[in-house]
Structure 1
Amino acid sequence: MSKTVIIASTDRGVALGNRIRTEFPKSLLVSTRPHEQATQIDSIAAFLENNFSAFDTLIFVGALGICVRSIAPYLQDKQSDPAVINMDDHSRFVQAVVSGHVGGANDITRKVAAAIGAQAVITTSSDLQELWALDTLAKEFGWKATPSADMNALISLFVNNKRTALLLDIKDKGTAWLEKHLPAFVDVYYDFDQIAPSQYELLIAVTYKTYTLNIPVLHFHVPVLHVGMGCSRDIETDQLETSVYEQLAAQQLSPAAIKAIGSIDVKHDETAFIALAEKLQVPFITYTAEELNTQQVVNPSEVVMSKLGVHSVSEASAMLLSRNQELLLEKQKITVPSGKKHTIAIALDSEVVRKAVVAIVGAGPGDAELISLKGKQLVETADLILYAGSLIPEEITHYAKKEAIVRNSASMTLEEQIGLMEEHYAKGHLIVRLQSGDPSIYGAIQEQMTIFDEKGMDYYIVPGISSFQAAAASLKSEFTIPEVVQSIILTRGAGKTPLPENEKLNEMAKHKATMCIFLSATIAKSVQEQLLEHYEPETPVAVLYRVSWKDEEIYTGQLKDLAQIVRENKLTLTTLVIVGVAIGARKNRSHLYSPEWKHTFRTGKALKAK
């Protein structure tokens, strides 16, 4: 947790400082003014002399001049200076003063301004232009910045909108963000050979390689390289290190991009491997012979098999580490000056390889704005989108890019859907399969995943808001009430598909939990009869048709009238039934926000001034 001090110059400033302390747990409020809510200090100058470097964030409440004169003697550089913010004691303006990007002053300024309703004053050029903050991207996305020239010079080129080429050798959360927020003067490339350097003044490369050009290059090296190695016992540490670096350089691979080193378990105590891992600050991971033999390697060795019982150490280790069967560097055999030998193979982490993938995305209950941010971003970038028009609003597909293929799958068989996906998968496309609500709840995705597994198609799932959650919102209800009901049951009635013996509705009803019953409107009478075995007839019930859609219908009543409500309103498909005393309940209070309840973010304790 970062250390924050709020320095107030006036009584009004102390009151305002105490107000914003709630945004910074365990922060310290100091003032030269005697005040029961602040720690009194003799002078700001004396306090900063002893404490300037002890805090990550300094928030001054008072005149900007006091702030500037107070911090001036202690400023070093933006890489080490704390974030300094100044705000007037009438809460009109909050200004980032020092370390806007690296120290986070700009973000803190926005946070404080939002908390008190003030105007945030940001003077950093890239922020004002809504450009990438090149000096903080590495920290934000877990990369390592390696500029070919002075970083400030490269930033100057960028904020002055000089033509820039962006090379993306991998894909991750950061590259997706860059693509989504691409400035007009930046062109994106996925192949270095396609770039004409003479057309640009700056190259930004998110990569695992090192590029040398006649224009400045800002490398963002991503830890994605997995190095597998074998060696002679007690190989010299310095000679192994030199050899590895030479191999990397020969392939234009950066040591800064190494994520892990691997070998066979009999090498767990090999000094040279351990030392290299420590220098690179990466883990050294070993595998058993049995694990290594699970890999189909390019260059198996009968010699290694006879000695260690494995076909490969270096290639197999790299494959296991990376979960990738393709190698960037096949096994190399190197003899170091001492005469001892080592092997090396390198693979790229499978998670960052630019390849086809299927994203099964929860589209939410019906309202197009209830899709998750991640889901929306995937729809915006997808090459193929499949959705069931009867269950998912067409408005969600309006987020798609112009060149995307968008198909309503309602009239397609599963085989036809898979066939279309395979066509796009073969082209390396991003495929989005939209599922109503949350895919994990009656999403019928198991059969799709089975086929994906059989065909070796990579996929992942993005959760969505379920209709039962949208129902709670529409009913303005919390489904778990302190000391009344603390469980929610998601289930359905026994229709054409029978229920497991221990999941019959009358058995589930014994718990008297908040029950959310899906896919059961056509058997409402049976549902009512089973629930009445344990719920009181007057138990609140809500029947929701197409919840959160524009034509949403909500009917409330008592359990004894459930079948009548469904019948009279002719409800069948896309109907959800909620049963339980939590519907509309208001009386009981949670301990979470009780004044007597203490927790990590509300301890009542403050830091002490030195």
Structure 2
Amino acid sequence: MKTEKWAIVTLSKDGMVLANRLAKHLDDRECQIYTKEKYANETTKIITTDITTFMGSIIGEYQIICCIMATGIVVRAIAPHLAHKSSDPGILVMDTNGEFVISLLSGHLGGANDAARLVAKRLSAQAVITTGTDVKGTMAVDVLAQKIHCTIDNFTDAKDVTALILNGDPIALINQENCDLDAVVLPQNIKTVVDLTTINQYSGAIITTLDTQKTDLPIPSVKLVPKKLVLGVGCRRDTPGERIIQAIQETLAALNLNIKGIKSLATIGLKADEPGIIEACTFFAAKKVIIPNEMVQMVQSRFDASDFVFKTTGLYAVSEPCGFVASGFGKCLLEKQKLGGITLSVWRDEN
């Protein structure tokens, strides 16, 4: 697991005193202090531009940015650089006395709420958290999605259902994908529902699903998409990444499967450095999984053999055995498809 990266930013002498103190108390994080040249030391980096330009230069580099300065300065500095709650970092603000630590931005998905609590505990400060579900001791949709390792399909839907949760309205959790709920303590107004004939008793619904088809529920709903799709991939050398991406998009669309559910692309060692596959992994935020030839050989007899593939790879099949192994010997959703120099198979990881 990668160490969480923090930036600590300050513009004053008093701020530097606190920044150094904070960094010492966050020795289990990777911290970098930024300040003006006149306050810098051998371990800090110098801010050489105006604060707005500077914030734009680091906002995509850190998980948490802690600003020891006035809140208004921070708001104006980050505003031009914000993209979406799903990608913005957690932003904290502290006063130079270290009395308060404010979770300013991306409290849930960006981790600012947890970061504020951490800083408050280690510096004996007061965490200031204003997200409605935290104030009321309940749970937002994005927090639930994080806890059960899902992606939100539509953030507007999530906002609407979170408002219902905050209002105390009854919410149905329809766990179609059997996501692990054992470690999740649900608010009292969220109930796991199996029998959909009772759905009219609820004001909203949260559904774990890979299906892209529109729900026909009579109440507002949001889909949470688990990362369960594994694609076995084979291709000719130097197949362009855009062709592989398009093939995957069209294949999953035909199956009504959500591309947000892609967990990994699996292939053989011979294709480990194939630029098109690497590009596709980046595009889908998917892990590249390389299956050793020995593992492929152990399971390839289950699938149709290809003499052509054997001549070029020494294996009788690539896509299906790779997808099968990488999915933990999961369920095949689509057998090998030949798509003009690309082979794809689709699997559901049942683990």
TM score, norm. by length of structure 1: 0.43
Structure 1 pair 314–194 and aligned structure 2 pair: CA distance change class (3 A): farther
Match of 2:299 among 294, 297, 301: 294
Q: CA deviation at 1:128?
A: 1.6
Mapped partners of 2:235, 2:102: distance in 1: 57
Q: Conserved in 2, the CA contact under 8 Å of 1:329 and 1:346?
A: yes
1:4 aligns with 2:10: no
Distance 1:349-1:118 versus aligned 2 partners, 3 A rule: same
The size of the alignment, in residue pairs, is 329
Partner of 1:347: 347
SS in 1 for 2:249: helix
Q: How does 1:140-289 map to 2 (within 5 A)?
A: 143-147=150-154, 149=156, 151-170=158-177, 175-177=181-183, 180-189=184-193, 194=196, 197-214=199-216, 215-228=219-232, 242-262=246-266, 276-277=280-281, 279-280=283-284, 281-283=286-288, 285=290, 288=293
Partner of 2:25: 23
Q: Note the 1:86-105 alignment, pairs <5 A.
A: 86-87=94-95, 89=97, 92-105=99-112
- Please state if 1:48 is matched with 2:51: yes
Q: Give the CA deviation at 1:244.
A: 4.0
List alignment gaps of at least 5 residues for structure 2: none
Name the CA distance, whole Å, in 1 between partners of 2:196 and 2:301: 33
How big is the shift at 1:155?
3.2
Cα pair 2:92 2:116 within 8 Å, conserved = no
Q: CA RMSD in A?
A: 4.8
- 1:205 aligns to what SS in structure 2? strand
- Aligned partner letter, 1:5: I
Displacement of 1:83 in angstroms is 0.8
1:123 lines up with 2:127 in the alignment: no
SS at structure 2 position matched to 1:96: strand
Following TM superposition, by how much is the alpha carbon of 1:284 offset from its aligned partner in structure 2, in angstroms? Answer: 5.9
Q: What CA distance in whole angstroms lies between the structure 1 residues aligned with 2:255 and 2:249?
A: 10
Say whether 1:317 aligns with 2:328.
no
Distance of 1:4 and 1:250 partners within structure 2: 44
**SS of the residue 1:245 aligns to:** helix
**In the aligned structure 1, how far is the partner of 2:241 from the partner of 2:35?**
53
Partner of 1:385: none
- What does the per-residue CA deviation read over 1:449-476, in whole Å, with 9 as the maximum and x for residues that have no partner? xxxxxxxxxxxxxxxxxxxxxxxxxxxx
CA 1:291–1:31 in 2, change beyond 3 Å: closer, same or farther? closer
Note closer, same or farther for the CA distance 1:143–1:10 as it changes in structure 2 (3 Å cut): same
8 Å CA contact 1:293–1:312 kept in 2: the answer is no
Q: Once the 2 structures are TM-superposed, how far is the Cα of residue 254 of structure 1 from its aligned partner?
A: 1.8
Query: In 2, distance between residues paired with 1:31 and 1:110?
Result: 28
Q: Is the 8 A contact 2:157 2:221 kept in 1?
A: no
Query: Quick one: which amino acid aligns to residue 107 of structure 2?
Result: G
The CA deviation at 1:126 is 1.2
Distance (Å, rounded) in 1 between the aligned partners of 2:278 and 2:35: 48
CA contact (8 A) 1:6 1:29 kept: yes
2-side partners of 1:231 and 1:156: how far apart?
Answer: 46
The question of 1:107 aligning with 2:114 is answered yes
Match of 2:66 among 48, 58, 64: 58
Amino acid at match of 1:260: S
Compute the displacement of 1:125 (Å): 0.8
Which residue among 85, 101, 122 is the counterpart of 2:93?
85
CA 1:305/1:4 → structure 2, altered by over 3 Å: closer, same or farther? Answer: closer
Q: CA distance change for structure 1 residues 250 and 47 in 2, over 3 Å: closer, same or farther?
A: closer
| Structure-2 separation of matches of 1:275 and 1:208 | 23
Contact 2:67 2:93 in 1 (8 A): yes
1:341-390 alpha-carbon deviations (Å, 9 max, x no partner)? 86643222242xxxxxxxxxxxxxxxxxxxxxxxxxxxxxxxxxxxxxxx
Cα deviation for residue 249 of structure 1 reads: 2.8
Contact 2:296–2:318 under 8 Å retained in 1: no
> Structure 1, residues 429-462: CA drift from partner, whole Å, max 9, x if none?
xxxxxxxxxxxxxxxxxxxxxxxxxxxxxxxxxx
TM score, norm. by length of structure 2: 0.68
Return the alpha-carbon distance in structure 2 between the equivalents of residues 232 and 49 of structure 1.
47
Tell me the amino acid that sits aligned with residue 265 of structure 2: I
After TM superposition, the structure 1 = structure 2 runs for residues 482-521 of structure 1, keeping only pairs within 5 Å, are none
Q: Distance in 1 between matches of 2:278 and 2:95?
A: 50
Q: How many percent of aligned residue pairs carry the same amino acid?
A: 23
